[in-house]
Structure 1
Amino acid sequence: MPNPDPSGPDTTPGSVWELKPWWCQPWSIVLTGLFIVGVSWLVLHLWWLTTGVAVVIGAWWWLFLVLMPAAWKQSQASGGGA
């Protein structure tokens, strides 16, 4: 009988994003970051604080949208996947 679970042991996901819930997808990460920067500006109107928030959000994006998928891809290529 075939495995009805698409994420079962017989399949290898093509992307790390296939393993993540909706709230951890690239679109939700980007929208959340933009929302936080926008709210920072709308509420505080302090360019230096909003810039600091944007730098932190940029680092968050770099980590989760660039480095983490690249590390996952490298892990899969080297046979380190589950």
Structure 2
Amino acid sequence: MNQQPVAFWSLKPWWCQPWSIVLTGVVISLGSWLFLHRLWITLPITLAILAWWMLFLVLVPAAYSRQEDS
């Protein structure tokens, strides 16, 4: 019996969906700049968020998809 693969994002709650991850990152980066006006604080925060996005929006779903295919 050939089962339909389960979509990665259907396994996650609403607060862990791509739109909520991106929205939270944008709000944190923009909020850091608007409240602090310090590039030396905002830049590392934004770079950490970009790394987080790469991990959880690109690499993890791709790995899950490869695992489901094998």
- The question of a shared fold, defined as TM-score above 0.5 by the shorter chain, is answered with yes
Residue from 13, 22, 31 that aligns with 1:39: 31
Aligned residue in 2 for 1:25? 17
TM superposition outliers: structure 1 runs of 4+ over 3 Å = none
Q: Which has the larger radius of gyration?
A: 1
User: Structure 1 stretches of 5 or more lacking a match?
Assistant: 1-9
CA RMSD after TM alignment: 1.2
Q: What is the total number of aligned residue pairs between the two structures?
A: 68
Tell me the CA shift for residue 22 of structure 1: 0.3
**Structure 1 residue identity aligned to 2:61:** P
Structure possessing the higher relative contact order (Cα contacts under 8 Å, 6 or more residues apart):
2
The structure with the greater share of residues assigned to helix is 2
